[in-house]
Chain A
Amino acid sequence: MFESLLAGLEMALRLDTMLMMGLGLVLGMFIGALPGFTTIMAMAVLLPISFFLNPLVGIPFLIGVYKGGIFGGSIPAILVSMPGTGASVATLFDGPALTKKGKSRKALEMALFSSAFGDFTSDIITILLIGPIALIAMRIGPPELAAVLVLSLLVIVVSGGGVVVKGFVMLLVGLFLAMIGQDPIGAASRFTFDFFAIRSGIPLLPMLIGLFALPEIFAAIEKRTASYIRRSVGKAEGERLTFAEFKQCFKTICRSTGIGTVVGMIPGVGQVVAAFMGYAAAKSASPTPEKFGTGELEGVAAAEAANNAVNGPTLVPLMTIGVPGDNITAILLGAFVAQGLRPGPELFATQSALVYAILIAMLLANVLFVVVGYALVPVFAKIVTIGKSYLLPLTIVFAFAGTYVYRSNTLDLLFLVVFGVAGYALRKLKFDVTPLVMGFILGPVLEYSFGQTVTLSQGDMLGYIIADRPITIVIVITIPFLTYFMWRRGAKLRRTYADGGGH
Chain B
Amino acid sequence: MGRSPAGSDPDSMFKGRLNFNTVAGIVCVVFAIVLFIIIPYEVDEPPTLFGQSGSDLDPKLFPTIVAVLFLIVGVWYIVESLGLREKNDFKQLTLGNLKNIAISVVVILFYALALEPIGFIISSFIVTIILTLYYGSRNVIGIVGVTIVVPVGIYYIFTRLLQVYLPAVPDF
A residues at B contact (CB < 8 Å): 49, 52-53, 161-163, 165-166, 168-169, 172, 175-176, 179, 183, 185-193, 214, 217-218, 221-226, 387-390, 392-394, 396-398, 400-402, 404-405, 408, 410, 413-414, 416-417, 420-421, 424-425, 427-430, 432, 443, 447, 450-451, 454-455, 494, 498-499, 501-503
Decide if B162 is an interface residue (CB 8 Å cutoff): yes
Contact residue among A186, A191, A214 (Cβ-Cβ distance under 8 Å from B53): A186
Nearest-CB distance from A484 to chain B (Å)? Answer: 16
Q: Are B45 and A188 in contact (CB under 8 A)?
A: yes
- List A contacts of B101 (CB < 8 A): 218, 221-222, 424
Seed contacts A186-B46, A226-B136, A396-B127; 20 additional CB < 8 Å A-B pairs: A53-B162, A162-B3, A165-B73, A168-B69, A169-B28, A189-B43, A189-B44, A222-B97, A222-B101, A224-B135, A392-B135, A393-B128, A394-B128, A394-B146, A397-B151, A410-B113, A413-B113, A414-B113, A427-B89, A443-B62
Tell me, in angstroms, the Cα distance from A430 to B4 when the chains sit together: 10
Determine whether the beta carbon of A169 is less than 8 Å from that of B132. Answer: no
List the interface of chain B (C-beta within 8 A of A).
1-3, 5, 20-21, 24, 28, 35, 38, 42-47, 53-57, 59, 62-63, 66, 69-70, 73-74, 76-77, 80, 84, 86, 88-90, 93, 96-97, 100-101, 104-105, 108-109, 111-113, 115-116, 120, 124, 127-128, 131-132, 134-137, 142, 145-147, 150-151, 154-155, 157-158, 162-166
CB distance from A259 to the nearest CB of B (A): 21
Is B1 a contact of A396 with CB atoms below 8 Å? no
User: For A192, what are the chain B residues with a Cβ–Cβ distance below 8 Å?
Assistant: 42
* Whole-angstrom distance between the Cβ of A502 and the nearest chain B Cβ: 5
Q: Is the CB of B163 within 8 A of A428?
A: no
Q: Is the CB of A397 within 8 A of B3?
A: no
Collect the chain A residues with CB atoms within 8 Å of residue B45's CB: 188
Given A190-B63, A222-B101, A428-B89, A414 and B158 touching (CB < 8 A)?
A: no
Given A186-B53, A405-B165, A429-B88: A163 and B59 interface contact (C-beta under 8 Å)? no
User: From A500, which residue of chain B is reached at the shortest CB distance?
Assistant: B1
Name the residue of chain A whose CB is nearest to the CB of B113. A410
A401 with B166, Cβ < 8 A, contacts A163-B84, A396-B108 known: yes
Residues in A neighbouring B151, C-beta threshold 8 A: 397
Is B137 in contact with A455, judged by CB distance below 8 angstroms?
no
Q: Contacting B120 at CB < 8 Å: which of A218, A224, A390, A401?
A: A401
Docked Cα-Cα span, A315 to B47, in Å, equals 38
A161 x B131 contact (CB < 8 A): no
Cβ B163 vs Cβ A52 within 8 A: yes
A181 to B57, CA, bound (A): 17
In the complex, residue of chain A having the shortest beta-carbon distance to the beta carbon of B165: A408
CA distance A172 to B66 in the complex (A): 7
**Is there contact, CB below 8 Å, between A499 and B66?**
no
- Tell me if A498 and B5 are in contact (CB < 8 A): yes
Q: A501 is contacted by which of B1, B38, B111 (Cβ under 8 Å)?
A: B1
Whether A401 contacts B154 in the complex (CB less than 8 A), given A172-B70, A188-B59, comes out as yes
Which residues on the B side are within 8 Å of A499 (C-beta)?
Answer: 5
A residues in contact with B116, CB < 8 Å: 404, 410
Is the beta-carbon distance between B80 and A417 smaller than 8 angstroms?
A: no
Beta-carbon contact of B127 and A191 below 8 Å: no
Which residues of chain A come closer than 8 Å to B166, judged between CB atoms?
Answer: 401, 404-405
Closest CB in chain A relative to B100 CB, distance in Å = 5
Q: Which residues of B contact A498 (CB under 8 A)?
A: 3, 5
Q: How far is the CB of A377 from chain B (nearest CB, A)?
A: 25
Shortest C-beta distance, A55 to chain B (Å), equals 14
Instruction: Report A379 CB to chain B, min CB distance, Å.
Output: 19
| Chain B nearest CB, measured from A493 CB (Å) | 12
Chain B interface mostly: helix
Candidates A163, A397, A432, A503; contact of B150 at CB < 8 Å? A397
CB distance from A425 to the nearest CB of B (A): 8
**Known contacts A222-B97, A393-B131, A417-B109; is A163 also within 8 Å of B3 by CB?**
yes
Judge whether B90 and A428 touch: CB under 8 Å: yes
- The answer to whether B47 touches A188, judged by C-beta atoms less than 8 angstroms apart, is yes
Identify which of B24, B46, B104, B113 contacts A188 (C-beta below 8 A): B46
Partner of B88, one of A223, A428, A432: A428
Dominant SS among interface residues on chain A: helix
A430 touches B86 (CB 8 A): yes
- Rounded to whole angstroms, the CA-CA distance of A297 and B31 in the bound complex is 52
Residues of A within 8 A of B104 (CB): 217-218, 221
Give the chain B neighbours of A416 by CB distance below 8 A.
Answer: 112
In angstroms, Cα B21 to Cα A443, docked, is 25
CB neighbours of A175 from chain B (8 A): 62, 66
Looking at the assembled complex, report how far the CB atom of B67 sits from the nearest CB atom of chain A, in whole angstroms.
Answer: 9
Query: CB distance B105 to A421 under 8 Å?
Result: yes
Cβ contact within 8 Å between A224 and B136: yes
Assembled-state Cα–Cα distance A455/B59 (Å): 14
Contact flag A163-B56 (CB < 8 Å), given A389-B136, A389-B137, A396-B127: no
Task: Name the residue of chain A whose CB is nearest to the CB of B130.
Answer: A393
State in angstroms the CA–CA spacing of A186 and B124 once bound together. Answer: 42
Q: Is the CB of B63 within 8 A of A400?
A: no
Contact A176 B66 (CB under 8 A): yes
Complex Cα spacing A401 to B155, Å: 8
* A residues in contact with B24, CB < 8 Å: 166, 169, 429
Q: A189–B63 Cα gap in the complex (Å)?
A: 12
User: Chain A contacts of B142 at CB under 8 A?
Assistant: 387, 389-390
Asked whether A451 lies within 8 Å of B56 as measured between CB atoms, the reply is yes
**Chain B residues closer than 8 Å to A388, beta-carbon distance:** 135
Expressed in whole angstroms, the Cα–Cα distance for A405 and B155 within the complex equals 10
